[in-house]
Amino acid sequence: MTAKLIKGTEIREKILNEVEEEVKKIKEEHGVVPGLVTILVGENPASISYVTLKIKTADRLGFNEVQDNQPEDISEEELLALIDKYNKDDAIHGILVQLPLPKHIDEKKILNAIDPDKDVDGFHPVNVGRLMIGGSEVRFPPCTPAGIQEMIVRSGVETEGAEVVVVGRSNIVGKPIANMMIQKGPGANSTVTVVHTRTKDLAGHCKRADILVVAAGVPGLVKPEWIKPGACVIDVGVNRVGEKISEKTGKKVAILKGDVDFDAAKEIAGSITPVPGGVGPMTITMLMKNTLKSLKFRLGIA
Ligand code: GUN
């Protein structure tokens, strides 16, 4: 059996088209567009490429996009003052501080300074709490888990009563996706197990999963014999395992490998996300959706 491929690149296009349509409609009816600021501190190459892609996506959707680049040596006080400025700016509905931040800056302090109603990353403790409560309390689900849930739902995988096993307990993926899948409602209502580095029988738990979400950051961790035949496998891992020359551009590019042994797993799973082109493209997509949602809350139409 060869699994159905769950392509993030295709789902991204559908969602972005939906967002674009809604932005046009809101602009016509209310005369405003979503405003998003991205604060980038320093020149981390991975951060620059993430932010560049975000700007391109926001521009395509007709957002008011503000790119605020700051030097590596900006002080914590200066960065807090910048966040305060955007918290008070009515044209800005989403504030994203690109992580990681330089070591002299307390990341927690910075994230906690963002107005929770503009925290489109969903990292502020208020939004973590809102997510935990669930239902209408939820404002901004964090982007990667929100993307995972969209992929599961849009590929027609049944979540109701499903055994979901999440490998990894990070604040950005493992904990929030587990929390989202246990909630009442469509695309959830699952029975969730979270496994991690101290779990005794990793393979045994994975074998029970109807939906296996792997966010461990260990290339090829999940072996094909850990996968239940027909299961939906979501591979969040993006591990750089080497470099190659791109056939398209002739430039050096990273060789990326997921946390799942894809070639063998696709013969057992019912559906599976590839790496790259699976979960990756969904994160920025959901950031756009959250920014639109923020504007809708402001207008009282969410
Ligand atoms: N750095 C890597 N991924 C992310 C993300 O989703 N949000 C922010 N703010 N920084 C990141």
Q: What is the 106 CA–ligand 1 centroid distance (Å)?
A: 16
Weakest mean pLDDT among 38-42, 45-49, 123-127, 134-138: 45-49
CB-based burial, 1-28: b 16+ in 10 Å, e otherwise = eebeebbbeebbeebbeebbebbeebee
Strands (E), the chain: 4-5, 35-41, 64-70, 94-97, 163-167, 191-195, 211-214, 232-235, 239-245, 252-257, 271-272
Whole-angstrom CA distances from 58 to 67, 226, 282 are 11, 39, 14
User: For ligand 1, atom 3, which residue shows the shortest CA distance?
Assistant: 99
What is the 283 CA–ligand 1 centroid distance (Å)?
9
How confident is the model at residue 97, as a pLDDT?
A: 98
**98 close to ligand 1 (CB < 6 Angstrom):** yes
The response to whether residue 99 sits with its C-beta less than 6 Å from ligand 1 reads yes
pLDDT tens by residue, 248-294: 899 999 999 999 999 999 999 999 999 999 999 999 999 999 999 99
Complete DSSP assignment for 220-251: T-B-GGGSPTT-EEEE---EEEEEEE-TTT-S
**CB neighbours (10 Å) of residue 288?**
26
Q: Which atom of ligand 1 is nearest to the CA of 99?
A: 10
Amino acid letter for position 170: S
User: 33 falls in which pLDDT band (50, 70, 90)?
Assistant: very high
Q: What is the pLDDT of residues 184-232, one digit of tens each?
A: 999 999 999 999 999 999 999 999 999 999 999 999 999 999 999 999 9
Q: Cα separation of 270 and 227, whole Å? A: 10
Return the pLDDT at 106: 98
pTM over 0.85: yes
Active site residues: 54, 98, 121
CA distance 64 to 68: 13
Distance of CA 194 to the CA centre of its chain: 18
Res 232: pLDDT:
98
Of 41, 44, 50, 144, the residue with max ligand 1 atoms within 8 A of its CB, to mutate for a pocket test, comes to 50
Cα gap 188→211, rounded to integer Å = 11
Q: Give, as one character, the DSSP assignment of residue 131.
A: H
The distance from CA 300 to its chain's CA centroid, rounded to whole angstroms, is 25
**Most informative mutation of 38, 121, 173, 285 for ligand 1 (most atoms within 8 A of CB):** 121
**Torsions phi, psi for 27 (to 5 deg):** -60, -45
Q: What is the pLDDT of residues 144-189, one digit of tens each?
A: 999 999 999 999 999 999 999 999 999 999 999 999 999 999 999 9
State the Cα–Cα distance between residues 241 and 255, nearest whole angstrom.
6
CA 257/CA 216 separation, integer angstroms? 12
Which atom of ligand 1 lies nearest, measured to the CA of 172?
A: 6
Distance 100 CA to ligand 1 centre (A): 8
- Asked whether the predicted pLDDT for residue 70 surpasses 90, the reply is yes
Phi, psi (deg, nearest 5) at residue 247 = -65, -35
Instruction: Indicate whether residue 215 lines ligand 1 (CB < 6 A).
Output: no
Q: Is the CB of 48 under 6 A from ligand 1?
A: no
- The vertex-115 CA angle with 57 and 280, nearest 5°, equals 30
41 lines ligand 1 (CB under 6 A): no
Cα-to-centroid distance, 98 and ligand 1 (Å): 5
pLDDT of res. 206? 98
Best residue among 36, 47, 96, 123 to mutate for probing ligand 1's pocket (most ligand atoms within 8 Å of CB) is: 96
The amino acid occupying position 173 is V
Residue nearest ligand 1's atom 9 by CA: 98
Q: Kindly report, residue by residue over 82-117, the tens digit of the pLDDT.
A: 999 999 999 999 999 999 999 999 999 999 999 999
Q: Cα–Cα distance between 39 and 31 in angstroms, integer?
A: 26
Residue-level pLDDT at 124: 98
* pLDDT at site 1: 63
- Report how far ligand 1's centroid is from the alpha carbon of 203 (Å): 30
